[in-house]
Structure 1
Amino acid sequence: MFVDRVLVKVEAGTGGSGQTSFRREKYVAMGGPDGGDGGRGGDVIVQADRNLTTLLDYTYRDAWKAERGQHGEGSNRTGRSGEDIVMPVPPGTIIRDADSGELVGEVMEHGDLLTVAKGGRGGKGNAFFVTATHQAPREWQPGEDGQVRKLEFELKLIADVGLVGQPNAGKSTLLSVISAARPKIGDYPFTTLSPNLGVVPLSDHRSFVVADIPGIIEGAHEGKGLGLQFLRHIERTRLLAFLIPIDALDWQAEFDQLRHEIAAYSDELAKKPFCVVFSKLDLLGEHYIPEIDAKGAFAMYAISGAGRMGLDTMLDGWWRQILAMRAEALKPEQDAQLLP
């Protein structure tokens, strides 16, 4: 089951309390206060794990609590700090405060860490309060409470290419042919009920990631069909591929509708580089690219997933576009390194 939005309660550990203690040792007169400090409470940490692709585990366990710190002891011994608790999530997960809506942060790459609730500080023991005029203090501090928060986790898949099209445009078939992914394929609308990711292998150890998004119908940006639920998953793709079946009644109208839904959902998404892919070319039996007005498209392709037609040309074009975008993204960093 694909789950991309969950609510969880997290509680960081409470700090241990300080100790009131006086040294008691034979032949040592006036040993003085020796109460140690309490240990700090454990933090709650979110960590990106590339082995995960869904937030399903958090539907079974929605409360996470870190270990509390131990109390201080005599002989100036500080209590042991509580263990942190780590919550693994898929890369691309956004964390928000569920009550205020405030963005806490996001984890994008495997191994990224984000502290979402800080443990409480340990309290001071009576040894801390010794002064020249107050040499036998009995004061001590309780440990501070750890943060308690209700958080919303939202997953946005990260991919190089996002496949956009109406139901039954051939997106799942294409993904199954060019990658090892095995999405559900059927001859009825809305076969795909959740996004699918596939890694496309090329020669010379090259590869990139393609995301298959459930079909987008008219009004998807307003919540119709499944579009609104999953449109956010193409926000993090580098480029978009609009799939239009060759047997569509009106190629231009279908393309315009898809572009409209994307633009209505997000202006930023509408600015991403895109291409047009005419699918199901095997229905014609010949290579043919219809002429439509797709201003701004970096290329147009005609392919057949089932018939393995035109795939090499399309994948090569996607790869060259991805390389160009990667180089463009690295340019500011390279320019910064050249500065004196």
Structure 2
Amino acid sequence: MSALLELDDVSVTLRGPRAHLFAAPTPIRALRQVSLTIAAGETLALVGESGSGKSTLARAITRLVPAAGQARFDGIDILKADRAGMRRVRRGLQMVFQDPYSSLNRRKRIADILMEPLKVHGVGDGAERRRRVEALIAQVGLNTDMLQRFPAALSGGQRQRISIARALALQPQLVICDEAVSALDVSVQAQILNLLGSLKRSYKLAYLFITHDLGVVRRFADRIAVMHAGRIIEVAPANLLFAGPLHPYTRALLSAAPHPSRDRPAPARILLPGEPVSALAEPPGCLFAKRCLHFRPGLCEKSDPPLVTQGANHQVACHRAREGVPAWMDDAATGGLTP
């Protein structure tokens, strides 16, 4: 399967606080050499704690923040593309934001919101645009009478459906969903996930689905990438990751996710000590070492482990995993967890 999106060593450095009025801003490394691929028609879930860099990666891909490295979409280098190139990219790559109310123009009616991308890209005449807008509103499960309403007159779930309809207006190949269901009730989350799955089959879409909730993507994602402190630390097919994670951080995230099976007991909750590493005071070595229940002195504090392949289709950045020993096998601190 060909790669639709390829990220090679994508890094983002932000301006941090100043030590005093005349000091230079402290640089914050929000992303550290992120490399990922998304194939056409694939759903890749990007998971991690709040502040791990997930949304920053989405904004780097869409060039909303400056980034270094390479990000190729359908053969176009996003980070170096000119105006014409970015116009092609934005037609094929769309984004659904976490808060639909803030991402929708409150002063415009829904019909105008959905018609705007068609006008910007010169798609059809007035009659053709109206037909496409009516088809879009029906595809996301809403009535055409909502086209004359303003965003404030809709519920959260309805506004998110409008955001999805707007993202689909140009018939993109890839949609980035940045915490698209995290602000919704559980029942509405299920409706939106079912809708996204149906639209994926209808349009042959690829998704980059960003979330902090592993339970949401258990049945939705084809592959899962785990992000910690601005870098990818584990990538695997969803069923393989849930069955046997190789990184201690991933295992802790999985222990916090809802367990759907009644036939098997829920795994013991793994409570990580300390706080996530600060971007203003990065320690040497593995950035997860101070919270890791499997820390090995003399190894983990020496270098940040690279992302390497372990077995078929499973990548992990962990010194212990590179030794061929899954971290959960030899430490009673995890409560005797086994896959």
Which protein is richer in helix relative to its size?
2
Per the normalisation by structure 1, the TM-score is 0.24
